[in-house]
């Protein structure tokens, strides 16, 4: 062998030795690395349960996918800053596909689309598209790759509860209308017959494909927290929050429970969807949920006995239930809530719930918030109808006048155009017609009517006695 050839072979040999040594070191490092990934809960199984495209990107791009995701992320931030939103959904889609097991990435992008980007659009239809994109990103894809991520369930539930359920976004009526339309198309409604739904394969599949709702779980949720009106946003918030509960750490368990509580309260106030003649929807109280809320408050407070936020929520919600059920004449639930409240506050004296209901109502008519104004006014109008039906015309007129006064007091507070668009209650005549409907339709919302209690009279007595004392014990 010539000297040159030997020198060449020696170099090759040396290279092979170095490569083999490198391989050995990598092999030794592999096991601790895998263990530390498992410990940190970032172990990935890119080929399991993922579509080919995601498997391809995660495996084929290897470490470079992080780099590409960063580049796309920078571009996404720049476009958003420049007000160019067309690409954001696409970029969010690609970024999340590049990091499918990084749950925070899904949560961030869904939030960004539903909250930060949507508000830049003035057309409610445009806004809804962005909110819907945010929901779909989490529900249809994020949870598919991260089915055990409780914060993701929280974010999804929160979008339903807050973005659609609260009245903070000017376009919320449009969101609710679209949701109610879609739910109606899918055959969902109030107090559903889940046996029939479970037997209808097409409806079941449509729910599964379009909204990722499982009929069995819906039945479970409805039995536990219902009867729910699935055309409203809150049942879906509860559905997703409930899915997250078994997976949650202590912090998220509380957060998810809080969402369920708040949804129940909101549904007591406006949890029934009613379609108007023009195809839009209006919302009325779902008082059938008031006893559920009372029991729920007791359960949750018992679960977190030393935590003041839950105790405060319990007291506040029970007071609200007493006032609202009182004005509608549902004295059985008012008594139940009053008993729970006395127990929570350690009050042993026997007190009539009617007195407390009158006091709670006085405090609330002074502050008829947008969430409760329909319940209060509609309740007063139902009272007027009930008294009128019993030929008690003076009482009926007093209730009618009270309804009008509460309605106008609330309306007078809506000074800006924006607040008026967002928070206005339905026209008073529409509420009058709904009250007549409630009374005429038998006991649909009516409860055994007590002629021995007139809350307005009690309120008048307290008003004469001076400023209303705080209803809270």
The residue from 63, 83, 279, 346 that contacts other proteins (CB under 8 A) is 83
Q: Are 403 and 421 in contact (CB under 8 A)?
A: no
Using the 8-state DSSP alphabet, how is residue 167 labeled?
S
Give the DSSP H or E segment for 68. helix 64-81
The residue from 55, 80, 119, 413 that contacts other proteins (CB under 8 A) is 119
- Residue 86: both structure tokens together: 């067309």
Give the DSSP H or E segment for 64. helix 64-81
Report the candidate in 355, 332, 340, 249 with the shortest Cα–Cα distance to residue 296: 340
Judged by beta carbon, residue 7 or residue 433, the one nearer other proteins is 7
Using the 8-state DSSP alphabet, how is residue 82 labeled?
T
Judged by beta carbon, residue 62 or residue 466, the one nearer other proteins is 62
Judged by beta carbon, residue 124 or residue 353, the one nearer other proteins is 124
The residue from 46, 61, 94, 227 that contacts other proteins (CB under 8 A) is 94
Give Cα 167 distance to the centre of its chain: 12
Q: Rounded to the nearest whole angstrom, what is the least distance from the CB of residue 51 to other proteins in the complex? A: 10
No. of helices (H) and no. of strands (E), the chain: 23, 2
Any contact of residue 421 with other proteins (CB under 8 A)?
yes
Q: Rounded to the nearest whole angstrom, what is the least distance from the CB of residue 93 to other proteins in the complex? A: 6
Rounded Cα distance, 48 and 44, in Å = 9
Strands 281-284 and 272-275 turn out to be: antiparallel
Any contact of residue 123 with other proteins (CB under 8 A)?
yes
With contacts defined by CB under 8 A, name the span among 224-232, 356-364, 417-425, 441-449 that binds other proteins.
417-425
Any contact of residue 209 with other proteins (CB under 8 A)?
no
List, in sequence order, the alpha helices (H) in 226-289: 234-244, 250-270
Rounded Cα distance, 161 and 165, in Å = 5
Any contact of residue 62 with other proteins (CB under 8 A)?
no
* Region 126-145 residues binding other proteins, contact defined as CB under 8 A: 127, 129-130, 133
Judged by beta carbon, residue 143 or residue 241, the one nearer other proteins is 143
The residue from 43, 64, 120, 251 that contacts other proteins (CB under 8 A) is 120
Any contact of residue 90 with other proteins (CB under 8 A)?
yes
Rounded Cα distance, 132 and 179, in Å = 10
Q: Rounded to the nearest whole angstrom, what is the least distance from the CB of residue 53 to other proteins in the complex? A: 6
Using the 8-state DSSP alphabet, how is residue 284 labeled?
E
Judged by beta carbon, residue 119 or residue 355, the one nearer other proteins is 119
* Region 296-335 residues binding other proteins, contact defined as CB under 8 A: none
Q: Can you give the length of the chain in residues?
A: 473
Cα angle value 429/431/436 (rounded, 5°): 95
Q: Are 410 and 368 in contact (CB under 8 A)?
A: yes
The residue from 4, 45, 122, 467 that contacts other proteins (CB under 8 A) is 122
The residue from 166, 170, 200, 339 that contacts other proteins (CB under 8 A) is 170
Rounded Cα distance, 200 and 193, in Å = 11
Any contact of residue 115 with other proteins (CB under 8 A)?
no
- Residue 37: both structure tokens together: 């990934």
* Region 428-457 residues binding other proteins, contact defined as CB under 8 A: none
Q: Rounded to the nearest whole angstrom, what is the least distance from the CB of residue 86 to other proteins in the complex? A: 4
Any contact of residue 12 with other proteins (CB under 8 A)?
no
Residue ranges that bind other proteins, judged by CB under 8 A: 53, 83, 85-90, 93-94, 97, 119-124, 127, 129-130, 133, 170-171, 417-418, 421
């Amino acid at each position: 062998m010539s000297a040159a050839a030997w020198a060449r072979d020696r170099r090759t040999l040396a290279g092979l030795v170095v490569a083999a040594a490198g391989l050995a070191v990598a092999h030794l490092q592999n096991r601790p690395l895998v263990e530390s990934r498992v410990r940190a809960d970032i172990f990935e199984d890119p080929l399991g349960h993922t579509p080919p495209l995601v498997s391809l990107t995660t495996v084929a791009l290897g470490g470079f996918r992080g780099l590409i995701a960063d580049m796309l992320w920078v571009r996404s931030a720049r476009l958003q800053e420049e007000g160019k939103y067309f690409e954001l959904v696409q970029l969010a889609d690609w970024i999340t596909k590049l990091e499918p097991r990084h749950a925070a990435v899904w949560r961030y992008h869904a939030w960004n689309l539903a909250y930060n980007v949507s508000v830049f659009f003035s057309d409610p239809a445009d806004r809804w598209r962005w909110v819907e994109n945010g929901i779909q990103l989490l529900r249809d894809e994020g949870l598919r790759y991260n089915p055990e991520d409780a914060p993701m369930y929280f974010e999804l539930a929160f979008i339903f509860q807050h973005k659609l359920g609260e009245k903070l976004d000017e376009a919320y009526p449009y969101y609710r209308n679209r949701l109610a339309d879609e739910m109606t198309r899918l055959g969902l409604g109030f107090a559903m017959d889940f046996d029939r739904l479970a037997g209808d394969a097409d409806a079941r599949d449509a729910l599964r494909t379009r909204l990722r709702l499982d009929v069995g779980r819906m039945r479970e949720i409805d039995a536990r927290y219902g009867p729910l009106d699935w055309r409203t946003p809150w049942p879906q918030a509860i559905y997703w929050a409930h899915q997250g509960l078994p997976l949650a750490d202590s912090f998220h368990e509380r957060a998810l429970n809080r969402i369920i509580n708040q949804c129940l309260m909101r549904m007591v106030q406006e949890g029934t969807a009613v379609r108007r003649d023009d195809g839009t929807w209006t919302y009325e109280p779902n008082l059938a949920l008031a006893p559920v809320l009372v029991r729920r408050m007791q359960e949750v407070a018992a679960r977190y006995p030393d935590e003041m936020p839950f105790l405060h929520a319990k007291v506040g919600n029970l007071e609200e239930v007493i006032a609202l059920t009182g004005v509608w004449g549902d004295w059985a639930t008012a008594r139940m809530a009053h008993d729970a409240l006395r127990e929570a506050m350690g009050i042993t004296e026997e007190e009539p719930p009617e007195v407390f209901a009158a006091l709670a109502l006085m405090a609330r008519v002074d502050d008829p918030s947008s969430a409760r104004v329909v319940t209060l006014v509609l309740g007063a109008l139902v009272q007027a109808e009930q008294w009128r039906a019993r030929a008690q015309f003076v009482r009926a007129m007093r209730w009618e006048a009270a309804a009008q006064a509460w309605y106008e007091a609330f309306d007078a507070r809506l000074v800006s155009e924006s607040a008026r668009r967002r928070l206005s209650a339905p026209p008073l005549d529409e509420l009058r017609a709904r009250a007549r409907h409630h009374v005429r339709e038998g006991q649909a919302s009516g409860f055994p009517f007590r002629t021995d209690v007139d809350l307005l009279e009690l309120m008048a007595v307290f008003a004469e006695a001076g400023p209303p004392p705080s209803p809270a014990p």
